[in-house]
Chains A and B, each alone.
Chain A
Amino acid sequence: MSADFQHRHAAHCESGTVANLLNHHGLPIGEPMAFGLGGGLSFAYLPFVRIQEMPLIAYRVPPRAIIRGVRKSLGVHFRIERFSSMAAGEARLDALLDQGQVVGLQTSVYWLPYFPEDMRFHFNAHNLVVYGREGDEYLISDPVGEHPVRCHRDDLNRARFAKGMLAPKGTLYFPTAVPGRDIPPKAIRQAIHRVAWSMLAPLPIFGAGGIRGLARGLGRMDRGKPDSLRLVGHIVRMQEEIGTGGAGFRFLYAAFLQEAARPAERPALGEFAERLMDIGDGWRAFALAAARMVKGRDPFDPPALAEHLFALAAAEKGFFTELKAAVS
């Protein structure tokens, strides 16, 4: 069985999945609005949390925070289910699909065979939509893919029940009550306020302070150690490669601010969007400089990269201070 589902290509898996599910349930919402209402933008640098030998660096909020934020802002109810056994999770998914339900899933990236080989890493908080099944093949709308794909039952089961950090435990979800199409202006302003507040946290691991913390770490780095270049590449991967819409979600959030200006009743947000696009260009310049050093086209110069990051930290601090004032 397959439901009539419209696949739409998105930059990021969680905001794309939420937006596409809500559209299916009659709430016209784009990825930027879902990302913004979910308060998706962030920055975190946790040098003491190591994943695959690299420190945790994120340009976004933790997994599932976007769903939670959208739920809160819009008053949408999602039913979220987790399973203790693969058999139970598989049976429940099949039953929902047979009822014509379109279902969001949390999965591992590594075990999805339709992903390009070089993009398959052990990240357990990927999101996608299943909209039907034909025999042992699931019909999948993966928002970061251009087109819908198919995935065999055994592969999807493995991806849904991968173990380790952020283990999905077969998590599936679908909206049960979707309110009208009007988004309350206050909800949008509050979502922006939350992001600005967290970006200004007075800690060296989150927000603008986290960017400064990372810059300090980069500046202190021993350029002779092979791990140093690996860290530089890792930063750029987290910023660009893993479905961020460019510049570590800054371009995506700018799209949201632009769209939000009218419904939030704050026309100035349009100018903030422009400014954030410029900050995003700064992040892209940093990524390019870093990648050239990784490739050996430019000499490896950690202090120069650190300078880039200090400038970006200062720009974001100023930006979010004013943004916070604009929505207060």
Chain B
Amino acid sequence: MDVQDVPQDGNATLGGHRKAVYARGAGGAIVAVESAGWEAEEIVTLQAVDVFDAYAKAARARVVAGQSSPLEYWMYARRMDIATFAQSCGVWRWRIRRHFRPAVFARLSPELLSRYAAALGVSPETLRALP
């Protein structure tokens, strides 16, 4: 890639930032160049973001329908799958899944609730409900 071919597509996913890309300049020296983004990157970044947005949206619908607890919503809203979440809070996966049941979630001990809340970066009160 030559310096003049470095994409400057202005990716929305970069939030106005620019990234460093290496390309061949005049005279053949390979140098770092600022890039405002490449559309190919934007497409795949948004794809990954959308996956978790869709999970969170589906979880929200389940919570509203009384089929799941807000814990599931918050997990996806923080872009975690259940494996990542289990590692972050140190609770077994099957136990977390059990706490997705609204009735079980309602009886959760304050200690466990704050442990979940800390791993998700929200307050225990916030975790009790949908935003």
A63 at the interface (CB under 8 A from B): no
Structural contact, A237 and B23, CB atoms closer than 8 A: no
Closest A-B pairs by Cβ, 6 of them = A116-B15, A164-B87, A291-B40, A251-B22, A118-B13, A255-B30
List B contacts of A118 (CB < 8 A).
Answer: 12-15, 45-46, 49
A280 x B1 contact (CB < 8 A)? yes
A31 within 8 A of B: yes
Query: Do residues B43 and A295 form an inter-chain contact, with CB atoms below 8 A?
Result: yes
Asked if residues A116 and B17 are in contact (CB atoms below 8 Å), the reply is yes
Of A110, A246, A292, A294, which one neighbours B22 at CB under 8 angstroms?
A246
* Cβ–Cβ contact B30 & A277, under 8 A: yes
CB–CB A11/B19 < 8 A: yes
30 contacts between A and B (CB under 8 A): A9-B20, A10-B20, A10-B32, A11-B21, A32-B22, A52-B79, A52-B80, A52-B81, A52-B84, A116-B14, A118-B12, A118-B15, A146-B18, A162-B88, A163-B88, A163-B90, A163-B119, A164-B84, A229-B47, A230-B47, A233-B43, A236-B43, A240-B38, A243-B19, A245-B32, A251-B30, A255-B30, A258-B29, A277-B30, A284-B1
* Partner pick for B21 among A251, A287, A288, A291, CB 8 A cutoff: A251
User: B46 contacts A287, CB within 8 Å?
Assistant: no
Would you call A241 and B17 a contact (CB within 8 A)? no
- How far apart sit A51 and B40, CA to CA, in the bound complex (Å)? 22
Interface size class of B (residues with CB under 8 A): 35 or more
A-B contact count (CB 8 A): 138
Whether B121 sits at the interface, judged by CB under 8 Å, is yes
Which secondary structure dominates chain A's binding surface?
helix
Q: In the complex, which residue of chain B has the Cβ closest to the Cβ of A284?
A: B1
Q: Is the CB of A255 within 8 A of B22?
A: yes
Q: Is B101 an interface residue (CB 8 A)?
A: no
Partner of B47, one of A144, A158, A164, A233: A233
Residues of B within 8 A of A (CB): 1, 6, 12-24, 28-32, 34, 38-41, 43-49, 51, 78-81, 83-84, 87-90, 119, 121
Contact residues of A between 160 and 209, Cβ < 8 Å to B = 162-165
- Complex partner residue of A291 from B22, B30, B43, B90, CB under 8 angstroms: B43
Q: Which of A52, A273, A287 has the most CB of B within 10 A?
A: A52
List A contacts of B29 (CB < 8 A).
258
B36 CB → nearest A CB, Å: 11
Contact B30 A237 (CB under 8 A): no
Using Cβ atoms and an 8 Å threshold, which residues of chain A touch B30?
32, 251, 254-255, 258, 273, 277
Chain A proximity of B45: nearest CB distance (Å): 5
Q: Are B21 and A237 in contact (CB under 8 A)?
A: no
Q: Does B79 lie within 8 Å of A50, measured CB to CB? A: no
